[in-house]
Structure 1
C-alpha cells in the first residue's frame, strides 16, 4: 500500500473537471471583408486622367450595303461567313462592271470628238490643203496670232486615242497625201520643202500640247506621216504593178 505521504501528494495535484473528449473547440473570430485601398481623387488638371475612347471608324460607303445586310452583324458573332463573302464578291463585281462601262463611254466620246463643232475659221481652213498655192494662202493667214490660235483650237477638237492617233488625225485633216509627198521634215535632198519651217507646224504642236503630247513626240509622228505619204498616195500599188527585172526575179527565186 502506498504511504500516506504519497497519497497526500497525489491528492494535491489539480484534477481536470471534464475529459478531453467533452472539450469544445474554440470559436474563431469571423473574418471581415477586405476593402481595397481607396484611390485618391484625380484633379481636372492632373495628367493622370483616363484616356478618352475614340469613336469607331465607319465602313466605306461602297460596302455600307454589304455590311448592313441582315445576315451579318458586328454586335453578334458571324454565323454564315460563306454568305458574307458572297456579298462582298458581288459588290466587287459590280464595281468592276461600272469601271468597264465608264471606260467604254470614254472611248466612245473620244471617237465622237471629230464630229464636234469647231470654231469658225476662214475658208482657207475648210478643206485639206491640196496645192502649194493653197499652202501659201494658209501661211499668210496664220501670220495673225488670233488666226493661229483659232487653228490650234480647231485642231485640238479632232481628238485622238493616243499621241500617234491624234497627230495622224491632224495631218489627214490638214494636207492631202499627194501634197505631203512634196515635203519632208527639214527639206533635205533639194527636191522637197521643209515642213518644219511652216507656220502650220506651230499650230499642230499647240494642238498636240493641249492633249499632253510633247513637242518631240509630235515631231516624230509628223516625220513618219510624211515619210509614208508616197505609199498612201498610190506609190506602193504602183511598185507592186511594175514588172520586175529578170535579175531581181532570179534573186527572189
Structure 2
C-alpha cells in the first residue's frame, strides 16, 4: 500500500482541516459533546494538535494555564457533572483523553509541574463549576432587573 509523505501538501491540508474540526467542537456544551471530542482526539494526530494548541494559550503560572485550558475546553454546565476521580456521584474526568491532554499541555508549558499538581488545580476548577454557574445566573438576573427600571 502506498503511504503518503508527511511533508506533502495533502498531509498539511488534512492536518489543518482536522485541527479546525476539533476546535470547532469546543467548548464542550454537553456530556455527549465530551464523548464526541474523545472520539476525535483518539487519533494521535488530533490529540497532538489539541495538546499543542492548549500549551500555546500561555499564562503567568501553571495554575492560571490550567484554568484557561479548562475554560476553553468546557462550559461550567458540563464541568459541574465531573470531578477528577468521580466522587459525589459525578463522572470521573481522569478517565478521559481530555484529562491527559490538559496534563500534557501544562507539562509542555512548564516541565517542572507534576501530574498531581495539575490534577489538584483541575479538581478545584471542576468543583467550583456550580458556584460559577450560580454567580453567572445571579449577575444575569441583576442585569435584567436593572434593564427593566
TM class by smaller structure: 0.7 to 0.9
* CA deviation profile, 1:127-163 (whole Å, cap 9, x unmatched): 3000011111100011111111111001011011001
Contact 2:22 2:46 in 1 (8 A): no
1:125–1:138 Cα contact (<8 Å) kept: no
Bigger RCO of structures 1 and 2 (CA < 8 A, at least 6 apart): 2
Q: Which consecutive segments of 4 or more residues in structure 1 shift more than 3 A?
A: 235-238
Task: Report the equivalent of 1:197.
Answer: 95
Structure 2, unaligned runs of 5 or more: 1-14, 139-149
RMSD: 2.0
Q: Deviations over 1:92-122 (max 9, x none)?
A: xxxxxxxxxxxxxxxxxxxxxxxxxxx8414
Native 8 Å contact 1:142 1:199 kept in 2: yes
C-alpha spacing 1:140/1:237, structure 2 compared with 1 (3 Å)? closer
Give the aligned partner of residue 220 of structure 1.
Answer: 120
Q: Indicate whether 1:156 and 2:55 are aligned.
A: yes
Query: In the TM superposition, what is the alpha-carbon distance from 1:225 to its structure 2 partner?
Result: 0.2
The answer as to whether partners of 1:139 and 1:200 remain within 8 angstroms in 2 is: yes
Alignment of 1:70-149 (within 5 A): 120=16, 121-126=19-24, 127-149=26-48
Number of residue-to-residue matches in the alignment = 120
The equivalent position to 1:180 in structure 2, one of 79, 83, 88, is 79
Instruction: Pick which of 180-189 and 122-131 moved more.
Output: 122-131
